[in-house]
Structure 1
Amino acid sequence: MNRLAHRRTKIAALGAALLITAGAAGTALASGADVPRGKPREAAALTGTAKLYRPAGDDITFTFDAHLAAKDTMDPEKAYGTFRFEHVFPDGTSGWAEGRVDCLVTGGKVAVVTGIITDTEQDNKGKRVGISVHDQGRNDRLGYSWIGRDVAKQNLPKCMSSAPFEKTRAGSGDFKVLPWQPVYEQAAPKG
């Protein structure tokens, strides 16, 4: 083999090795394996802050810090954390609420979180609400349970919300969804 052919073979082998390494690293990152060694990856998470897009000038902000520990992988109702939302209307009036997370389910880049409102100036303190998020980079989407005619009568169960129908304001979305990876027991062999 001449020197030029040998060099091309080495370059091709190096290129293949780099592609394999990059592919493995990408797969590890996508699976949430980018946690420090020895520390288990949490089962699911929804974090971040974004503002909703409203052409009338409303300023609506949602913030999440919701987690499901690795040890609770198969029990989304053991999720913990907080959420907050604030709505400032164009006339300057506003409303806000903070809450304690009581369920978190994620799948791919979509999360559904529910929780009990713990502090607000409205009359819905102690009420459960549900919020959904679709993490799409900086163009995230969001939905919430308090839509429709029967909102006042709603008795929302844990882990429920509407589809993420709202758009976030351009460039404001930074929600991060860590996909849930349930672990199912293997069926006993038949026989």
Structure 2
Amino acid sequence: MGTLKFSHTSPDGGETGWAQARVDCLVTSPRMATLTAVVTRSNVSEAGARLGISVQQGTRGEPDRLGFSWGVVNFDPGNVDESGTPVVPPAGTCMAPAPFTTVINGGYEVVHAEIKKSPGSPEGADRRD
């Protein structure tokens, strides 16, 4: 489906984490997108780890927003392995948290495409009332 590449430098300007991942789901709506991907290379995550990311494109001068699964979702401090390391369940396919933080530098443009009515489906079958 595609490849996701990203990097993030710690707030103090120290270490930079990066990852490359194979996208396995992308869902859009006007101004919003959610995707999940499986890590193929990284300096901070193991290959095979699933990531969930959501973006909201800002309007009228508002900043874009971002949500991400690592370190914030499915975290239960009581769920640890035998060495005491927290075990974080993976994000499910097509699942990511709502965009909870603002984008400081750069931004996103979400291009949404409506799902078309299937041939032969009854009139209005693509609507949800």
With normalisation by structure 2, the TM-score equals 0.72
* Counterpart in the other structure of 1:108: 30
Letter in 2 for 1:187: P
Greater Rg over alpha carbons, structure: 1
C-alpha distance in structure 2 between counterparts of 1:97 and 1:177, whole Å: 21
Change (3 A) 1:91 1:167: closer
Letter in 1 for 2:41: D
Is 1:81 the counterpart of 2:2? The answer is: yes
Change (3 A) 1:91 1:136: closer
SS across alignment from 2:110: strand
8 A contact 2:36–2:53 mirrored in 1: yes
With normalisation by structure 1, the TM-score equals 0.50
- What is the Cα deviation at residue 91 of structure 1? 5.3
Give the gaps of 5 or more residues in structure 2: 77-85, 124-129
Deviation string, structure 1 residues 90-141 (Cα, Å, up to 9, x no partner):
1512221111111000001100011111110124321111100001157210
SS across alignment from 2:87: helix
C-alpha distance in structure 2 between counterparts of 1:91 and 1:144, whole Å: 20
- What is the Cα deviation at residue 181 of structure 1? 0.7
Give the gaps of 5 or more residues in structure 1: 1-79
* Counterpart in the other structure of 1:143: 67
* Aligned pair partner of 2:97 in 162, 172, 175: 162
* Counterpart in the other structure of 2:53: 131
